[in-house]
Each structure stands twice: as structure tokens, then as C-alpha cells.
């Protein structure tokens, strides 16, 4: 009987899914940034369009595909918390299933799963409400199709192009993890004379998702790029300082989630010790180079591990493709087990989640540690949790004014609903402030508020006192507030997207009301009791 169970074809997959479900119960949480997208979903379903503030068309989200997936589900069931947890879980299960399909042996699958389940980076963002779990599924789909039946005469270019197109709609910078594999595929298909007129036509059709999104985005928002791009790249710091911050992000990652960096070289050395040269491992690093350089050159992120997720998951996919003999496989598994004993904050240590003492290092935050007590699924019935209140979109904040200056806008904005205009002093959701130079912490650059700006938002007019900036803001208002068919928008689109108006570098007059002296608004639990 026992031998029959052990010989079940998908026993390892079933055990992997069971462990994944167990850890997920403790790991599931929602980030503040997720509720930025959730507020857009709520506004969209309620007839206000894909907007953060309903008065203006600004793409505040970087994950269009997730927003488009969540919207019909939210239309049917107005519980964004449950929808997010369920869809993230499904995306995770789908990714594990494809990982099993990619694996060349049961032992390879076990090693891959153990690596991913030991990585804080991987599991912290399976949930969180962000697009990462969806990206895992897209990434697994691409490499499954790329690697399967490698000797098959059937071309792979159209399907791979389509999956990359879907990936870009999910998140623009996600494309970098596919860059080198796609170039290699192009060369391979060309050398085998598989690129003909039909393949080219089908590949162009495969690009339709991103083409359609860009056309819509340019027309509706007046920009091909999300507003967050301008907010995070239009900064005062010189490039060397940005790279230095990127190095700090790598350093933080190494100490926060060591296995994400050390495991692939370690597996390579183990195979080398057994006189097996596995070129797939250094090639994996080569494939990840574009994304790693991207992380370095943008200065990393403020959220620990977030930008490394696709790289870590790619390493897991590569391990699944790696042949393991019994001896080197068991040694590798033993080392992972020892690692989990030595490093107390791996995902399997469910009692340690949310207990890290340091939240900020070099401007980098353990975001999960900050929000875990409030938004973790396992804490949903505790007094400190706000999950049930968010599930029914109860009002959590006492706000007297309909125009509010705020940072960390996600939960705040979603809770208040569409009738409040929230000015984000980090400029993630503000079309004007994102074009002004920012300063401060990585990913959250503060802006000096132009004099008259807040007054103008309240009155619905342009009341900025600085004449140069006022004229500049007039153009932004036409792009984001005027009728979408307004002929002036087309000319302004090119100037603000590619021309000299892409950012505003001139010195401007700013008001007395600034971030530092603006009153902070905290959660008022009495409002939703």
C-alpha cells in the first residue's frame, strides 16, 4: 500500500501544494500599495473609470493586467480582500503546477520547491495584493513553453511573443527577465529556418495585448507610461547616488534573504564536486543580468525583496530543469534543511512572521513586517486587524476636508472612497507633482507643493501662483481632465510624453503648507465599529 502511494505520479506535486497551502495560511497579507490598485478597481466598477481621484485620468497603477482581472470579479463580489487572497492563491498553485511540468525529475522538483519555499522573497509576494503572484504564473508559462519539446520542429516564436506581451501588460519592467531568452529563441528559430511570413504575422498578432494597452493608455491617460514612472525617475539625486542606493538594495537582499543569492552558486559547486559541470546554472545568471542591472541602475526599491521576485522565481525554474543524481540531490536537500534551521525568518518558520525588529535600513522597508498585524489573513479575527473593515470598505479615517494631503495612500484612499481627492506628496498618483523633481527615500520621493496648488484642487481651477508652472499645469489639466476627444490633447501628448515638457526642471514658488507641517491622520477604529 505504501509503495503504491509513493509511486503515485503526482505525489510530489500534491505534497508541494499541501505545504504551499499550509505556509500560505500564515504568510498571506496585503500591502498598502495593493490598495492603490484596489481603489482604481472600485472606482472603475462604480462607473468612474480607471482613476484614482475621480476628477482626473491618471494611471497610478503599474499592474494593468491585474487591475483588469480583478475588476469583473469585484463587480460580481464586492470583497476585494477575499478576491485578492483567492486569486493570489490560485496563481501560486498554477505556478507550482507548471514548475512540476518543467521539472526533469521528481528530485529536481523537490529541490526547486525547497529553494522557493525557503526564500522570503518568493513567499512574501505570493500574496501582498500586488502583481507578483500573477507574474510567477506568466513567467512559469513562458519558460514551460520555451523549454518543452526542444527538438520539436514546431516553432515557438508566436506563443512566446504573446506571453511576453501579456507580461508587459502585467508590468512593464517585467519584460527584462525574458529579454535574453527571447533573443536566444529568435536566433535559434532563424538558424533553423522557422521564421517565415506566417510566423512573423502570428508574432505580430501576439503583440496585440501590449499594443492595445498602449493605445488605450495613450488615449485615455495621455501617457504610455504609468504615473509612477515619472514619480520615481524624476528626482534630484545624481546617477552615482542612485547606483549606490542600488548596491544597498543588493546588500539588504543578501542579508535579508541569503538563499536567493547563495543557492545557485552552491548547487553549481556541489555538482562540480561530483565532476558534473552544469552550464545551466551560470547561464541562469546570464539570463537574469538585464533585470539585475535594471535593479542596480534604478536604485532598487523601498520594499525589501520585491524587485528580486522574478529573478528568484526564475532560479527556481532553472533548478527544476537541472538533472540531479540521488547523491548530489540529497546533499542539496540536506543543505536547504540546515539553512532553514539556521535562518529563523524563512517562510517555514510561521511563528516568526512579522517579528523582525528592524523595519527600515537605508530607506528599504520590510513592508510585510509593518502591515502584517493589520492585514494578515491569520490575524483577521484579532483586535488589531482591519481586514474585515477593508473587506466591506468601511471608513477607517476621520477626515473633515474633501481634499487631503497624504503619503501611504493605499489603504487610506480605498477606505475613504471616491468622494475624497487625495494629493499624494510622493507623487505616485499626482500628474503634476510627478513631473517636479523629488527628493528623499528611494521609491518615495517627496515634492515641494506649489503655492496655490491645494487651493486649486479644492476650487477645481488652476490657482498656482508661479506663472511658468501654472502654464505647465494647464497642459496637464487638458490631458487628464478635459474631454478625451479634445483635439489639444494629441499635440500635448507628444510634448509631455517625449518632448521638453516631459518634466519641469525650473525653480517654482512653493507654499507654506508642506509635508512636514501637515497634520497626520491615523486610523480611527471607532468609525467602523
Residue 317 pLDDT > 90, yes or no?
Answer: yes
pLDDT at residue 349 in the model: 80
Over residues 293-315, the mean pLDDT reads: 95
Structure confidence at residue 444 as a pLDDT band (50, 70, 90): confident
Residue 435 pLDDT > 90, yes or no?
Answer: yes
Residue 529 pLDDT > 50, yes or no?
Answer: no
pLDDT, greater one: 115 or 7: 115
Structure confidence at residue 2 as a pLDDT band (50, 70, 90): very low
333 and 408 share one domain? no
pLDDT, greater one: 21 or 268: 21
pTM of this structure = 0.93
8 A C-beta contact, residue 259 and residue 118: yes
449 and 305 share one domain? no
Over residues 295-319, the mean pLDDT reads: 95
Q: Which domain holds residue 242?
A: 1-30+62-342
24 and 117 share one domain? yes
10 and 106 share one domain? yes
pLDDT at residue 334 in the model: 94
Residue at a domain's end among 342, 361, 384: 342
pLDDT at residue 9 in the model: 73
Mean pLDDT, rounded, of the chain: 90
In a domain, 504, yes or no: no
Cα first-last separation, the chain: 55
253 and 146 share one domain? yes
Over residues 477-506, the mean pLDDT reads: 93
303 and 443 share one domain? no
Q: In Å, what is the CA distance from 259 to each residue of 23, 265, 301?
A: 18, 10, 20
In a domain, 78, yes or no: yes
Over residues 289-318, the mean pLDDT reads: 95
- Tally of domains in the chain: 2
Residue 240 pLDDT > 90, yes or no?
Answer: yes
8 A C-beta contact, residue 495 and residue 501: yes
In a domain, 240, yes or no: yes
296 and 435 share one domain? no
337 and 421 share one domain? no
Instruction: Give CA–CA dist 59/223, Å, rounded.
Output: 8
Over residues 440-454, the mean pLDDT reads: 90
pLDDT, one tens digit per residue, over 8-47 is: 678 899 999 999 999 999 999 999 999 999 999 999 999 9
Over residues 166-186, the mean pLDDT reads: 96
Residue 233 pLDDT > 70, yes or no?
Answer: yes
pLDDT, greater one: 152 or 117: 117
In 3D space, the residue among 234, 272, 164 whose CA is nearest the CA of residue 428 turns out to be: 234
Residue 154 pLDDT > 90, yes or no?
Answer: no
3 state SS of 403: strand
In a domain, 41, yes or no: no
pLDDT, greater one: 134 or 6: 134
pLDDT, one tens digit per residue, over 397-406 is: 888 888 999 8
pLDDT, one tens digit per residue, over 241-264 is: 999 999 999 999 999 999 999 998
In a domain, 245, yes or no: yes
CA 210 to chain centre: 17
425 and 333 share one domain? no
Residue 152 pLDDT > 70, yes or no?
Answer: no
> Using CA of residue 62, residue 66, residue 72, residue 77, what is the dihedral sign?
negative
Residue 309 pLDDT > 70, yes or no?
Answer: yes
Structure confidence at residue 415 as a pLDDT band (50, 70, 90): very high
8 A C-beta contact, residue 12 and residue 106: yes
In a domain, 507, yes or no: no
Residue 353 pLDDT > 80, yes or no?
Answer: no
Residue 493 pLDDT > 80, yes or no?
Answer: yes
In a domain, 393, yes or no: no
In a domain, 196, yes or no: yes
Count other C-beta atoms under 10 Å from residue 41's C-beta.
26
pLDDT, greater one: 425 or 355: 425
pLDDT at residue 150 in the model: 66
Pull the grid cell for residue 184.
536566444
Residue 479 pLDDT > 70, yes or no?
Answer: yes
pLDDT at residue 515 in the model: 53
pLDDT, one tens digit per residue, over 452-477 is: 999 999 999 999 999 999 999 999 99
Amino acid at each position: 500500500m505504501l509503495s503504491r502511494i509513493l509511486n503515485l505520479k503526482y505525489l510530489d506535486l500534491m505534497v508541494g501544494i499541501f505545504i504551499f497551502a499550509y505556509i500560505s495560511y500564515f504568510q498571506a497579507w496585503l500591502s498598502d500599495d495593493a490598495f492603490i490598485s484596489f481603489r482604481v478597481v472600485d472606482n472603475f466598477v462604480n462607473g468612474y473609470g480607471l482613476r484614482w481621484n475621480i476628477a482626473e485620468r491618471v494611471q497610478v497603477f503599474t499592474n494593468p493586467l491585474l487591475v483588469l482581472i480583478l475588476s469583473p470579479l469585484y463587480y460580481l463580489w464586492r470583497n476585494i480582500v477575499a478576491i485578492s487572497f483567492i486569486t493570489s492563491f490560485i496563481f501560486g498553485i498554477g505556478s507550482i503546477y507548471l514548475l512540476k511540468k518543467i521539472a526533469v525529475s521528481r528530485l529536481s522538483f523537490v529541490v526547486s520547491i525547497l529553494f522557493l519555499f525557503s526564500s522570503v522573497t518568493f513567499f512574501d509576494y505570493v500574496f501582498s495584493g500586488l502583481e507578483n503572484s500573477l507574474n510567477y504564473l506568466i513567467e512559469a508559462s513562458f519558460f514551460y513553453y520555451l523549454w518543452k519539446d526542444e527538438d520539436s520542429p514546431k516553432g515557438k516564436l508566436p506563443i512566446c511573443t504573446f506571453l511576453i506581451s501579456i507580461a508587459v501588460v502585467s508590468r512593464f519592467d517585467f519584460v527584462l527577465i525574458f529579454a535574453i531568452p527571447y533573443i536566444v529563441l529568435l536566433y535559434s528559430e532563424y538558424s533553423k529556418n522557422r521564421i517565415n511570413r506566417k510566423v512573423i504575422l502570428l508574432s505580430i498578432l501576439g503583440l496585440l495585448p501590449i499594443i492595445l494597452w498602449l493605445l488605450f493608455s495613450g488615449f485615455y491617460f495621455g501617457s504610455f507610461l504609468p504615473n509612477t514612472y515619472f514619480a520615481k525617475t524624476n528626482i534630484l539625486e545624481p546617477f552615482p547616488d542612485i547606483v549606490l542606493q542600488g548596491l544597498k538594495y543588493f546588500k539588504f537582499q543578501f542579508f535579508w534573504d541569503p538563499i536567493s543569492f547563495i543557492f545557485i552558486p552552491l548547487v553549481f559547486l556541489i555538482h562540480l564536486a561530483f565532476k558534473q559541470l552544469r552550464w545551466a546554472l551560470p547561464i541562469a545568471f546570464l539570463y537574469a543580468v538585464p533585470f539585475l542591472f535594471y535593479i542596480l541602475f534604478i536604485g532598487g526599491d523601498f520594499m525589501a525583496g520585491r524587485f528580486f521576485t522574478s529573478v528568484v522565481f526564475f532560479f527556481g525554474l532553472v533548478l527544476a530543469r537541472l538533472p540531479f543524481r540521488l547523491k548530489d540531490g540529497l546533499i542539496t536537500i540536506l543543505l536547504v534543511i540546515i539553512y532553514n534551521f539556521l535562518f529563523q525568518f524563512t517562510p517555514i518558520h510561521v511563528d516568526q512572521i512579522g517579528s523582525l525588529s528592524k523595519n527600515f535600513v537605508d530607506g528599504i522597508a520590510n513592508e510585510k513586517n509593518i502591515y502584517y498585524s493589520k492585514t494578515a489573513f491569520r490575524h483577521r479575527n484579532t483586535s488589531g486587524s482591519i481586514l474585515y473593515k477593508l473587506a466591506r470598505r468601511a471608513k477607517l479615517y476621520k477626515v473633515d476636508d474633501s481634499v487631503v494631503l497624504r503619503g501611504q495612500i493605499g489603504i487610506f484612499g480605498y477606505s475613504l472612497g471616491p468622494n475624497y481627492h487625495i494629493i499624494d506628496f510622493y507623487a505616485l498618483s499626482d500628474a503634476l507633482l510627478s513631473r517636479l523633481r523629488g527628493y528623499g527615500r528611494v521609491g518615495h520621493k517627496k515634492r515641494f507643493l506649489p503655492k496655490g496648488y491645494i487651493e486649486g484642487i479644492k476650487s477645481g481651477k488652476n490657482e498656482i501662483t508661479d506663472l511658468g508652472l501654472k502654464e505647465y499645469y494647464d497642459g496637464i489639466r487638458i490631458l487628464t481632465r478635459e474631454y478625451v476627444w479634445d483635439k489639444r490633447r494629441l499635440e500635448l501628448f507628444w510634448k509631455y510624453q517625449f518632448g521638453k515638457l516631459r518634466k519641469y526642471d525650473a525653480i517654482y514658488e512653493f507654499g507654506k503648507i508642506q509635508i512636514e507641517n501637515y497634520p497626520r491622520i491615523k486610523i480611527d477604529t471607532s468609525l467602523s465599529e
